[in-house]
Amino acid sequence: MSKQRKKSRKVIIPNQSDVKGNNLDGAHVNRQYKDRLFKFLFGSEERKENTLALYNAINGTEYTNVDDLTITTLDDFIYIDMKNDVSFLVADEMDLMEQQSTWNPNMPLRGLIYFGRLYKAYAKTRNLDIYGRARISLPTPKYVVLYNGREHRKEEEIRLSDLYEGTGNVEVIAKVININYEDGKAILEHCKILGEYSKFVATMRTNMDTGMSAEEAASATVDKCIEEGILRDILIKHKAEVTGMLFTEFDQEQYDNNRRKEGYEDGHKDGEKKGREEGREEGIALTKKEIAKKMKAKGMSNTEICELTGLSKEQVEAM
């Protein structure tokens, strides 16, 4: 383990404000839960010790004082689809951690966009003059993607420059770490809560592979993990919330898998790709409508909403 840095370490994490209530009876699935389980476990004021433990496991440090962690909120209705991210400042670092269950070679671009938002907030809250003659000091960005999808992936670095058609001088590097229970033993042993999260997800997938629906699997997974002591305290206290998050997350995964199977079984080589593309387009359309509704609630005009979301005038007026 490396030695602790001498600088004061302040951690800024997107606040989890959408999860309320402690219903323990009949955890009926609620499709309105938008945040993912990863953010619920590692991105909240209530569980900031989990974030510190995760940071230690990734960086080989041994910090224990959670009082040095300062929680803030970076939520924005424009970023409603980015609900599985945890960002924080650590002394001279600006860390972004993102959990992904679907392999995506474009993750460095997501990081670039997100870091732009983070640095904008950083400069604004500190009254930094980015147009002035004086050189300003910025924390060093670090981007880690915690992957737990079904496709086997080893630890690697993905670069923004890999996406360029030519050469460029702007770079973002996403460090991908496999946290699947079967593949990520090293890091899982160094962070107990991450190990339990990984085993929890593996249990959910096992249940779904038996033919359960996402709703049935979510309920069965929560009950089994409580019985086996996996995330037990959190699951007992937040059974309804976690069940809802789990359903929301894996219902989409199940839908995507079914579409791929349909394309394959039809005997068309492009069926799998077509099913995946149609599912993605449907998901994007839904996200745009959700964003548009929030814009409308904030008093934005229909014209502005159309320009920002790409939705038609008729679609916006019908909301």
DSSP 226-290: HHHTSSHHHHHHTHHHHHHHHHHHHHHHHHHHHHHHHHHHTT-TTHHHHHHHHHHHHHHHHHHHH
> Can you give the residue ranges of every domain in the chain?
37-265, 266-319
Task: Give the pLDDT confidence score for residue 191 in this predicted structure.
Answer: 95
The model's pLDDT over 273-308, given as tens digits with 9 standing for 90+, comes to 454 445 445 544 555 677 778 777 867 788 877 776
239 burial (CB, 10 Å; 0-12 / 13-18 / 19+) is buried
Contact 73, 210 (CB under 8 A): no
pLDDT at 57: 92
Q: What is the reported pLDDT for 85?
A: 81
What pLDDT shows up at residue 77?
39
Whether 98 and 106 have beta carbons less than 8 Å apart is answered as no
**Tokens 């249990």 found at:** 203
What local confidence, expressed as pLDDT, does residue 74 receive?
63
- Position 290 scores a pLDDT of 72
Give residue 135's pLDDT.
Answer: 96
| Mean pLDDT of the chain, nearest integer | 77
How confident is the model at residue 310, as a pLDDT? 72
Identity (one letter) of the amino acid at 36? Answer: R
Measure the CA angle with vertex 111, ends 294 and 4; round to 5°.
Answer: 115
Place of tokens 């079984």: 265
As given in the structure block, the two tokens for residue 188 are 């899982």
pLDDT of residue 314: 84
pLDDT at 1: 47
Write down the pLDDT at residue 172: 96
Sequence-ordered alpha helix ranges (H) in the chain: 37-42, 48-59, 107-125, 185-190, 192-209, 214-228, 232-237, 239-265, 271-297, 302-309, 313-317
Extract the residue ranges of the chain whose pLDDT is less than 70. Answer: 1-35, 69-84, 252-288, 298, 308
Give the per-residue pLDDT at 70. Answer: 61
